[in-house]
Structure 1
Amino acid sequence: MTVYGAEEKCASCIHLPSAKETMEWLEAAIIRKYPNTSIVFEYVDIDKPTSNEAHNYYAEAIKEDEFFYPLVVLEGEVLAEGNPKLKSIYKKIDELIQSDSNI
């Protein structure tokens, strides 16, 4: 699971946790609910260049206002942007588990 964000909060996110805090919160909640999964959590700062094409794609898309951050991506699918909702993220994880994915 990759969470994209920046040190500076977006204008509409002033009262929300930072993107990095959001990733830490998601990680704790998901590990607690799914202790036997192998989901790896990664935070990507959209202002720091990387050699990963997917990371660069989402970073540029956020900068071009195609997505809001924090942006939550799992297995190439955008699960949430802005203020993520655990219920929808849990639903996708359940679907992946049922489809016998390697998570």
Structure 2
Amino acid sequence: MKIKAKIETGEKPITLNLKGRLAWTLLELVKAGESGITPLHNPAPRVSHYVMSLRRKGVAIDTNMQPHGGAFPGEHGVYRLKCAVTIEQVEGRT
């Protein structure tokens, strides 16, 4: 999968051309809106790594920690976009 996205940074918008899991992660964040995504509901090998990589490219993403129970109780991150993102082009499977 490949996408082209415009990211509003508050200054000058940036255009990102992403592929693979980075493209998937940005699309999932856009689809989730204010609900955000979590590794529990959006399983991927390294969601936190993809989020960090997107941040390094200029995408503003918030993390809120949330407790969870189950066999392995603890906390997990909920990731939410904090900037406007316009998906301009998508190639491949979504």
TM-score (norm. length: structure 2): 0.26
> Which one has a larger percent strand, Structure 1 or Structure 2?
2
Q: Which has the higher contact order (CA 8 A, sep 6+)?
A: 2
TM-score (norm. length: structure 1): 0.25
> Which one has a larger percent helix, Structure 1 or Structure 2?
1
